[in-house]
Structure 1
Amino acid sequence: MTSPDSRGDREKVVSKLPAWLRQELKVRAVQHGIDMQDAVDAGISAWRGLGSNLAAIDTSGAESFATFLPAEQWTGFKADCKSRGVSLIQGLAQSVRLWLDSNPAPAVKRPAIVRRIIVCNQKGGVGKTAITAGAGEALAEDPAALVPVRVSKHFAALLDEDDTTDPLALEDLPGLGQRVLLVDFDPQGHLTKQLGHEPLPMDGDSLTNHMAGDGKGDLSDLIVTIDDDRFADRLHLLPACADAFLLDVRLASVRAREAALERALAAVEADYDVILIDCPPSLGLSMDAATYYGRRRPDEAPGNSGTLIVVQAEDSSADAYGLLTSQIEDMRDDLALDVDYLGLVVNHYDARRGYIATSSLQSWMDIKDPRVVGVIGDLKEQKEAVRAKRPLLAYAPRCEQSVALRALAREISK
């Protein structure tokens, strides 16, 4: 069945295609940055140029499928199907399969140097743990599946009443497929518990022991997998241990203590593309070690690693932000480090709170360096996921927080 199309010389074509083949086509077209109709057009052209038929495809249960093709393409395709003795549905399925086989999924882009993202703010309760977990989950999602993403530029529309941009606009994009390690660097262990695991026992091994030079085994033995099909084996967690409450005391006697975290994690870096550190609300030696770990290494591109500062749209976050950035700047100056700011994340935002929230958000937006790279709403799904001890992006993959966290992951991966 065909019908006229206003877009040039194309016409709407309605046939049938198995749902599994249509989904694979949809994902692959997005991966290659082209329209599905162009992929089908290319597949049909290649199929028509073959000297013989391909192996038959199981088209049982095929469902209605519509696309737009040049008028002469569809007419010629129908004639070729008839001369080759195959149905239109079978010919279309073979054409799509031919295009898929000729255009394999692009390889996941891996950083030359493991990315180290330090999620921090010395103020407690701003949601560092939720941002660490959510960004890590978004980085690790299946690259062979499409997920809804809020286009990052749209959060600016939250402040502009004259902006015609739809702040809720979504785009389906492939998952990023990164190998991610989440490090619970906070002795309170919120990240560990939220993801359904228990903190490490005090009388066993821990990250603290390895940082203090007293590791009892391989650090990799402490790492656990976050089990969910969305992440396969790409999302891992290094659980917290309550002995981290004593970390600053133990680091006081360690040689080159600012490099202690780097020395501890060096043994596992080769297994990951991204390591996110969920920092404690502290300005002590542990924060120095985290900042040093996120510094720009020799031959590392600017913005590959650095600090991601989580704030809220209220006044006390501004005071905490000033204290944190002062400490980072002191580290930069004292040790001659290049420490990049990956940006600010305004968390728990709710415009219904009125002037305090909106004016505070505007103040964060006005900073420019570091710039705001994400605005995450204060919604119920995050609290529900914490109660269920499940990753948010697995618990509610299409909720507003999830789509915003995917945009954040892409923004800091540019």
Structure 2
Amino acid sequence: MSVHSTSDDRDKVVTRLHPQLRRELTIRAATVGVAVQDAVTEGILAWRQAAGPLTTVDTARGASFSTYVPSELYRNFRAECSERGIQYTQGLAQSIRLWLDRNPLPQRHRAGAGPRRIALGNQKGGVGKTALSAGIAAALAESGFRVCLVDFDPQGHLTRQLGHAHVPIKGPSLTKAMVGEGGGHDLREILIRIEGPGLADRLHLLPACTDGFLLDAKLVTSREVRVKETALERALAQLEADYDFVVVDCPPSLGYAMDTALYYVRTREGGDGSGIIIPVQAEDSSADAYELLREQIDSLCDDLDVEIADLGFIVNLFDSRKGFVVKSALEGWESIGTPPVLAVVPDLKDQREAVRMKLSLLTHAPDSEQAELMRTIARRIAP
């Protein structure tokens, strides 16, 4: 069907697309910087010019999709679908598939610049830091970046949420590499490829090991670590050449381990976009926790003469039904201005279901509101 739009001589096109195809279109258009309506228009033009029949596209289990295309082009396209003996829905799906094939994900590798290092940190538990780390990392990978997701929390919630076990206590681990007990092991030996539609081979997990509980003590006592703040950087150096982003799910503490994570995401010479994202909730205890974290960041910057960029807050698990307390707290976070609020993520069932299913959010519920917000955050930190 079509609804004529006189404002720009375009018709509103309403059809049904397979969710995966619609998702690919939305993500690809955002990634290459093209409006969805323009991508569909280009696809229709390419479809009309294509010689010979095109491959049939799966249109079963379609979901509602709408956009605008030039009116005359739309009328001619409908007529040509009839002439070719195919349904209009199939013709539009072929057009979108054609545009996707002609506009692959761009080469987004940060050759020579090193990866951008992003920490998600807050010593307050229960703010959803782990889920956000996984969601943002998956969104970055989905848009074409190579991402290493580091489970730096000894509790290992991230590793288990993604359906994997901790690495054996006697084997190689990040902790051993940090304190000089690695025995020559390469951390690439324990990396885990995270599967999911649109991720290809771009998202890897460096899993947790329970020896992480000993990290703070080992950082203080190990002779191998002359400057404890550099331990995480030195351990991850062997991996960095393979990635565009390293996303670190930090421990819920203000100890030495957190110092190493903060130092790792410091701003390098010339600025590299690294920094910390701070997940919070719309409540007073999150504000109190942020003050303590802010003191730790400022103290580390003063002691080591470095800069650590605050990339922004994510107000997570937001539920407006809780009334004045959460709404006024949200206003408080937004009033800070710098760093900005990157997103307000509602408290919905999709993420909890993803954790129960041992899948990433973007795999379990790729079209959910929470998944779209993960993509929004990824675009804000990687424009």
Q: TM-score range by the shorter chain?
A: 0.7 to 0.9
Indicate whether 1:258 and 2:229 are aligned: yes
CA distance in 1, matches of 2:2, 2:333: 53
What is the TM-score with the length of structure 2 in the denominator? Answer: 0.81
Number of equivalenced pairs: 364
C-alpha distance 126-96 of structure 1, shift in aligned 2 (>3 A): closer
Residue identity matched to 1:320:
A
- Name the Cα RMSD after superposition: 3.8
CA distance in 1, matches of 2:328, 2:288: 16
Q: Which residue of 2 aligns with 1:348?
A: 317
Residue identity matched to 1:286:
A
Residue identity matched to 1:208:
T
Q: Which residue of 1 aligns with 2:210?
A: 242
CA distance in 1, matches of 2:186, 2:347: 39
CA distance in 1, matches of 2:289, 2:13: 59
Indicate whether 1:54 and 2:51 are aligned: yes
C-alpha distance 54-118 of structure 1, shift in aligned 2 (>3 A): same
For structure 1, the 5+ residue unaligned runs are: 48-52, 142-175
What is the TM-score with the length of structure 1 in the denominator? Answer: 0.75
CA distance in 1, matches of 2:261, 2:54: 54
Indicate whether 1:327 and 2:324 are aligned: no
Q: Which residue of 2 aligns with 1:385?
A: 354
C-alpha distance 67-263 of structure 1, shift in aligned 2 (>3 A): closer
Residue identity matched to 1:367:
I
* 378-387 or 27-36: bigger deviation: 27-36
C-alpha distance 284-35 of structure 1, shift in aligned 2 (>3 A): same
CA distance in 2, matches of 1:61, 1:351: 39
The structure with the larger Rg is: 1
2:42 aligned to 29, 32, 39, which one?
A: 39
1:53-111 Cα distance to aligned partner (Å, 9 max, x none): 93444569999x99855659977998xx9xxxx84869x97x95998499543514333
Residue identity matched to 2:126:
G
Q: State how 1:198-217 maps to structure 2 within 5 Å.
A: 198-216=165-183, 217=185
CA distance in 2, matches of 1:77, 1:123: 57
1:347–1:378: 8 Å Cα contact kept in structure 2?
A: yes
For structure 2, the 5+ residue unaligned runs are: 61-65
Identity of aligned pairs, percent?
Answer: 45
Indicate whether 1:371 and 2:340 are aligned: yes
2:40–2:95: 8 Å Cα contact kept in structure 1?
A: no
Residue identity matched to 1:313:
A
Q: Which residue of 2 aligns with 1:115?
A: 116
User: How far is the alpha carbon of 1:316 from its aligned partner?
Assistant: 1.1
Q: Which residue of 1 aligns with 2:240?
A: 269
Residue identity matched to 2:203:
L
1:307 aligned to 276, 290, 301, which one?
A: 276
User: How far is the alpha carbon of 1:399 from its aligned partner?
Assistant: 2.3
Indicate whether 1:219 and 2:218 are aligned: no
CA distance in 2, matches of 1:401, 1:190: 19
CA distance in 2, matches of 1:242, 1:76: 60
Q: Which residue of 1 aligns with 2:251?
A: 280
Q: Secondary structure at the match of 1:266?
A: helix
2:216–2:256: 8 Å Cα contact kept in structure 1?
A: yes
Q: State how 1:86-125 maps to structure 2 within 5 Å.
A: 87=84, 100=99, 103-105=102-104, 107-111=106-110, 112-125=113-126
CA distance in 1, matches of 2:258, 2:365: 32
C-alpha distance 88-305 of structure 1, shift in aligned 2 (>3 A): same
CA distance in 2, matches of 1:137, 1:60: 26
